[in-house]
Amino acid sequence: MEKEKGFESRVQELTDTILESYGGGRVIDRLEMFTQPDHQVIHELLEKCMRLIFPGYFRDYAYRIYNPKNNLSALVEDVAFHLNRQIAIALRDCDAGCPAVESRAEEITAAFLARLPEIRDLVDTDLQAAFDGDPAATGKAEIIIAYPGFYAITVYRLAHALFELKVPLIPRIMTEFAHSRTGIDIHPGASIGRYFFIDHGTGIVIGETTVIGDHVKIYQGVTLGALSTRGGQKLRGLRRHPTIEDNVTIYAGASILGGETVIGHDSVIGSNVFITYPIPADTRVSVRNQELQFKNGQGFVRADAQDENAAWFYVI
């Protein structure tokens, strides 16, 4: 019994120490709950938005659907109600002195909903790009339901609309949710044109100030990043990430860095290249062919350079 009391006393002392650490006035010491956007609510809003974008492919199995249009009307009202509340919380959290938060949140929510038809049109071009660019796709339905790259792009399109409407926090929560599900990290501030296709996905990074044109295709492991972030917050608002012009293909493992780096239109960037300077239009960039060594039980057999005409790019 004595031992037990001793342990309880220690736990109480440790509890007091932990509670005392919350008095430092730091951001991490914040105790007020429900004063910032709710991750779970936003994740659920994303799934509801996916049902609005693709009404025939995603639905809430908790409800029976007798009239699809009535169901979608109710869904729009549901999204409007919860998104409006989360936007108001985000605005209030980032600017405590912000006047007329509720009316601003309502205006932003209405503007976002008004953009959904435009977002659907953009997503349709991404769907066509995925189908045209992937011989493994058996149909567009497969892409909508199963392709992680297409999911990440769709979430980005939704988040980018909110980013352009100057909604704090929520767009980043959306794209980071997609990041956690797919391994594809697209900052909601990036500017991405029509017919965008990510093949395979995983390990892709697209930074905040990246500009991507139309008909661009990228593969797994591609980084469109900053050349250096040592300046930290001093770099906020500056162009740090590359520009990718129209009709560019970037193969797996390529890193393209820097705000002054422009990849000219109709170029092809090969696997595993590292680029920090502008590339002219209609250029093919590749790592010099490697020498292959062949060995067996008797030791070294031969060394061959890859055929100069061999395809250094590839499609899996």
- Please give the Cα distance from 90 to 42 (Å, whole number): 12
Question: Considering all CA atoms of the chain, what is the largest pairwise distance in Å, rounded to the nearest integer?
Answer: 82
pLDDT at 162: 98
DSSP 91-116: HHHH-TT-TTHHHHHHHHHHHHHHHH
**Low-confidence spans in the chain with pLDDT less than 50:** 1, 314-316
pLDDT at 56: 84
Instruction: Say what the pLDDT of residue 164 is.
Output: 98
What domains lie within the chain, and their CATH numbers? 29-187 (1.10.3130.10)
Nearest residue to 242 (alpha-carbon basis) of 225, 228, 229, 255: 225
How far apart, in whole angstroms, are the C-alpha atoms of residue 288 and residue 114?
A: 50
Its pTM stands at: 0.86
